[in-house]
Structure 1
Amino acid sequence: MTVRFFNFTDGQNVKLTAERGGYSVIEYQSDMSVNPYEAQLAYFASKMNVRRRQLVCHLDRFPSHCVSMQAGAMQWMSGDVQPKTGIRGAGDFARKLVRGSVTGESAIKPEYEGTGIVTLEPTYKFILLEDVTDWNGGIIIEDGAYLSSDASLTHRAEMISRPSAAIAGGEGLFNLGLYGNGLVALESSVPREELIVADLYDDVIKIDGSLAIAWSPTLQFTVERTTKSLIGSAASGEGLVNVYRGTGRIMFAPVATGHVSSASTGA
């Protein structure tokens, strides 16, 4: 049994923008499904790179033949695909409930296993494909950035250092960490061309705001005052900053990250 697709990844309005392992990212060059009153807005949006994008998972290209994804992200699938809850017993279910409650991610991330394809809901955000191996086997991601990953990767809740300062700075206490060898797909409000990747060697980076998208678990993440004294912090006009210290990698956006308020448009 075989399914042949027409006007999917090879459509005149579709462009393949990234491909890595079992993941493909397609981008619709213009929003053609609009009424006359929205046409002008859609035209200028496409000129400013505001476009719908979709993640396509080719399960037979993953070593595990299985992917995990954010709950509710699946749009359609085809071929020999078996959806699973990703829960391996009562203890695993309890751990995932706890991890989901502290990281802000969905507690249950469904898995799709087989040799077919799974296509996720479209998003106006940019989709980044990262190999955890390039991050020395571990990557911690910012809240809300997770989209999908190789099901062989281990998920953990990573707690920020100095929780009291994190609360004062408006940060969450936990972030999602992924460990192992495999790919992860992340959502970003800015394109890869506007992201900075820095490899630290026993050094430090201080960022004013939640601009980091991902960082190595070997880095110590804290929220600190810009100067040692409250008066100095007030005089500098900065207050609290996010600090990443040690040896590892960090990927962050030096430009505003809040220009897209809704990640998904598939509802």
Structure 2
Amino acid sequence: MHIYNFLDNDDVKVISGKGPFKVAEWQRDLSVPYGGAIAAYFAAEMSVRRRQLVCELDGRVGVTLQAGAMQWTVGSIQATTGVKGVGDLFGKAIRGSVTGESAIKPEYTGAGTIVCEPTYRHILLMSPQAEMGGTMVINDGLFLACTSDIQHRAIMVKRPSAAVAGNEGLFNLGLSGAGTVALESPVPASELAVVDLEGDELKVDGSFAIAWTESLEFTVERSGKSLIGSAVSGEGLVNVYRGRGRVLLSPVASLTPNPNAGSGTV
């Protein structure tokens, strides 16, 4: 099996890789129409480019993708729902309903290549065990793919009433294991602020956290000790992380659901 004029294309650059994953970035988009050429040129100058996740399977470890993320495959690759029975289906359905992720994520096994739909978001490749100390908790809408040796589970926010008041979800997706996770992020890895807490606390006004260590206590609280104090500060409710662990922050872009994830559009 040979693939020509893809990763070896002059307009494509592999910008990162970890485990079976590579991130291909299109340096120029020559498919744009005449009227969009100027916008496409300046977008590329600001690193606003299409990126695709490429998965190289060797027949040993499979990958799990977000529903609808796959664009094309080549080789001896089999796709399954990843459901291992009625109980597993029920558990995944419950987890999907509370975390905002798709309930059924297809799993791919075999030997060959999988290419995901293009996205203008940045693709982060991370290891929960090596980089986040075990289990990493991620915000809604960021999951793109992971190796099949990564475990998924729903993790509940402390103080659910405050989470509802602050328009935060009651549950987040937890990912654990020694494998690799691919996330869709509004900012590149070079712009992520890394905060390592050592028994202290971090307060964030808004959804700016990409991921955090499960060992941290995550709550949604008033910014002041009283309602009057919160009103005076002008902040209201904030996300609070306490304990020992790591938080990855997107300091220049708030996290909002990506309506075009897997669609190949901006």
Contact 1:124 1:265 in 2 (8 A): no
Match of 1:137 in 2: 134
Residue 152 of structure 1: how far off its partner (Å): 1.4
Match of 2:235 in 1: 238
Query: Are 1:103 and 2:103 an aligned pair?
Result: no
Match of 1:253 in 2: 250
Which secondary structure does the structure 2 equivalent of 1:41 belong to? Answer: helix
Residues in 2 aligned to 1:231 and 1:22: alpha-carbon distance in whole angstroms: 53
Contact 2:65 2:146 in 1 (8 A): yes
Match of 2:206 among 201, 206, 209: 209
Residues in 2 aligned to 1:96 and 1:247: alpha-carbon distance in whole angstroms: 29
Query: Are 1:85 and 2:95 an aligned pair?
Result: no
Task: Encode CA deviations 1:220-239: one digit per residue, 9 max, x unaligned.
Answer: 11011111111111111111
Query: Are 1:25 and 2:29 an aligned pair?
Result: no
Match of 1:225 in 2: 222
Residue 95 of structure 1 aligns with an amino acid whose one-letter code is G
Which secondary structure does the structure 2 equivalent of 1:133 belong to? Answer: helix
Give 4+ residue runs of structure 1 displaced > 4 Å after superposition. 258-261
Residue 203 of structure 1 aligns with an amino acid whose one-letter code is D
Matches within 5 A, 1:1-267: 3-60=1-58, 64-134=60-130, 135-257=132-254, 262-266=260-264
Contact 1:149 1:185 in 2 (8 A): yes
> Aligned-pair RMSD on alpha carbons?
1.5
Which secondary structure does the structure 1 equivalent of 2:219 belong to? Answer: strand
Residue 257 of structure 1: how far off its partner (Å): 3.2
Task: Give the TM-score, by structure 2 length.
Answer: 0.95
Instruction: Note the residue ranges of structure 2 that are not aligned, 5 or more in a row.
Output: none
Contact 1:28 1:53 in 2 (8 A): yes
Residues in 1 aligned to 2:260 and 2:67: alpha-carbon distance in whole angstroms: 16
Which secondary structure does the structure 1 equivalent of 2:115 belong to? Answer: strand
Residues in 2 aligned to 1:208 and 1:250: alpha-carbon distance in whole angstroms: 14
Residue 153 of structure 1: how far off its partner (Å): 1.3
Residue 261 of structure 1: how far off its partner (Å): 6.1
Which secondary structure does the structure 2 equivalent of 1:79 belong to? Answer: strand
With 206-215 and 39-48 compared, the bigger mean Cα shift is at 39-48
Instruction: Note the residue ranges of structure 1 that are not aligned, 5 or more in a row.
Output: none
* Change over 3 Å in CA distance of 1:244–1:146 after alignment to 2: same
Task: Give the TM-score, by structure 1 length.
Answer: 0.95
